[in-house]
Structure 1
């Protein structure tokens, strides 16, 4: 039998928490058509401003057909240069929220959002002198825009090199903005466009961003040495895999590489599954203790249910967004016990070593699981 301490586990209580300190009702100030299939939704900051870091995301919450739908969208504005708050949404074939938003949202609309989250960030310091080498594909440019604008202002001695891959010239998100930034910060921002289908008069790179092309591009950008260079990537799985392989071949330390995934990866997963030992038998339910917002909840989790699913079923309002192990909105630290994750891509190797888990894909394997969130 599931139960929680200090809080009732009923639907009424859950509904009230959705207007609590972690949630905001934001008014849409403007909808910008970035490309044919991508928009930016510009929000007015509420009276109590949403605090965020460059590279983080907002979770948009919309009710469709009587069901609450949540999706995470990266913030494209900078906390140090922009007064408003903006996210970019690109249509995805069959995508529920990514198609609903462009079709329904307009200036004056109100959307419920969850506080900014995410760990695809870096610490900015005025005395930093480093080179950010960034690889982006399609809508993966969104968090990069926030990080680039922040870096150019907060770190006057740092530079940014952006390798940005797109289908064609009309699908380049923020093209005009990047042209303006390159002029304004001449010598400090270098954008290298790569197009799958380039026009006849195209002077840049064209074709797939494969190992050979990546090697040529890296040879042409400034080399500040491994200790002064940070690598960031966000985009399609194939592109990220090619970048990861190249950086590994160049023996770039893992603590110098940051990546953000919008979709679950499939490359190499079957081979990984075959090489992994068979999981321990987990036929019974296990008790889990979750500590969040100064409160403690205890509940039983069945073997075919995740920790997050069970918590939500019992009216416990834990943070979450993607529910697929990527965005890390549900990240917590396992203080004790064993937790099996269906998906680990959202966590870095160091985070896993420190005991961090994702409740949306986590299953308890013992009765002493204690997870602290926040």
Structure 2
């Protein structure tokens, strides 16, 4: 089994806004690193007390066709340990320890595809959407992309110049609808259908289409209201941003009759920022178990199989399986510690495990016995988990 850890060089920095920077990384020998559009990279940085290593996952804003370069975009979070450390200290030439790209919020571009993607994001939720839209525009000449992007104002737009250039490069296939809650300029224009732009013989204007207000259900419905030339239920939707925004977007799509299997959402960015700010715990979804929840969470011994070794771990009633392993200096793979990213995924070979959060796992994975040890608690004394 190959190691999930890599050491990469910082080769360039791009300042996107006053509080966001893109960090461009490459392997020392410039060999390509496998990734998919929309995945994330976990950075492991010695910025904790006494140089303790901290982990944070940041969505890739690069695409596979930009190899050997991997790029992550980091936005400063008030009180954030890792984001502040990065923005204040990162320099070209330094090395960073990372985990190989992970994540299921992805697209698989195909040159033969002719589809329509609607990407809805706010703030730093743009990062995986940027990776997805660049990949589709580059590799699918018959596909169309709409980005609905919410920010406080024009100055807060991450990738602003890149988005402008992409509109100019793909005038009939790519449209950005900017939504500003507190715009500084008076440049709002009348609502025009994004769908009609793709059927017009004239190139779309490169000037961003702007709306004033919050990116909520009403706003998204307004942007998508003219769908007679392109029924909304035929598009594919990708949502990334604060939980409230994604809930509002989902409500709008439900009203439009969009099938659930055509809607993808990425909660990881929002959860990582919540963790970074040391605010509330990520929203849960009630008690979820990988098996019948008929046991009790008490101190139990769990067997972990990882990289050819087997570990017996005593897990306390207030601990997750991952926390108990880390207390014993067992270097298991992990990233978000919120049950979202799947970096710590393992297969439960025997016994029963309760999960505090299951959003990172599909129904199929749960049925196959997969668990996330960062939010897992043993319910029986015979738990054996094989870590991927």
The TM tier, using the shorter chain, reads 0.7 to 0.9
The answer (yes or no) to whether the contact 1:81–1:150 under 8 Å persists in 2 is no
TM-score normalised by the chain length of structure 2: 0.82
Within 5 A, what are the aligned runs for 1:142-153? 142-153=127-138
Once the two structures are superposed, residues 210-258 of structure 1 have per-residue CA deviations (whole angstroms, 9 ceiling, x without a partner) of: 21111111224662563x4221111011111101222233443332221
Deviation at 1:122, TM superposition (A): 2.1
Q: Report if the CA contact (8 A) 1:166-1:172 is conserved.
A: yes
1:369 and 1:267 map into 2 onto residues whose CA distance is 27
Farther off after superposition, 33-42 or 295-304: 295-304
Q: Are 1:235 and 2:241 counterparts?
A: yes
Name the residue aligned to 1:303.
317
Aligned counterpart, 1:367: 381
What's the counterpart of residue 33 of structure 1? 15
**Which residue of the other structure, out of 322, 330, 339, is the alignment partner of 2:336?**
322
Structure 2: runs of 5 or more not aligned: 190-209, 275-279, 288-292
Aligned to 1:108: 93
- 8 Å Cα contact 2:45-2:97 kept in structure 1: yes
Residue 157 of structure 2 corresponds to which residue in structure 1?
172
**Pairing of 1:312-351 with structure 2 (within 5 A):** 312-351=326-365
SS at match of 2:224: helix
Q: For the residues of structure 2 that align with 1:140 and 1:109, how far apart are their CA atoms?
A: 26
Q: CA RMSD in A?
A: 2.6
Deviations along 1:267-292, one digit per CA (max 9) or x if unpaired, are: 9969968xxxxx75625333333343
Question: 1:213 maps to which residue?
Answer: 219
Matched, 1:21 2:21: no
Instruction: Find the aligned partners of 2:355 and 2:285 in 1 and give their Cα distance.
Output: 17
How far did 1:351 drift?
Answer: 4.0
Match of 1:126 in 2: 111
Deviation at 1:42, TM superposition (A): 1.1
Q: Is the 8 A contact 2:232 2:256 kept in 1?
A: no
Equivalent residue runs for 1:350-361 within 5 Å = 350-361=364-375
Give the counterpart of 2:46 among 47, 60, 63.
63
Q: 1:367 to 1:270 in 2, by over 3 A?
A: closer
- The one of the two structures with greater contact order (alpha-carbon pairs below 8 A, sep at least 6) is 1
- Distance of 1:293 and 1:50 partners within structure 2: 21
Indicate the residue corresponding to 1:263 in structure 2.
Answer: 270
Structure-2 change in CA distance of 1:268 and 1:289 (3 Å): closer
Match of 2:37 among 19, 41, 54: 54
**Structure 1: unaligned runs, 5 residues or longer:** 1-16, 274-278
Q: Which runs of 4+ in 1 moved over 6 A?
A: 265-268
Give the Cα–Cα distance (whole angstroms) in 2 for the partners of residues 357 and 219 of structure 1.
41
The residue number in structure 1 matching 2:258 is: 252
Aligned to 2:124: 139
Aligned residues: 350
Q: Distance in 2 between matches of 1:286 and 1:257?
A: 39
1:301 Cα offset (Å): 2.1
TM-score (norm 1): 0.85
**Shift of the alpha carbon at 1:361?**
0.9
Q: Is the 8 A contact 1:81 1:149 kept in 2?
A: no
Structure-2 separation of matches of 1:308 and 1:271: 20
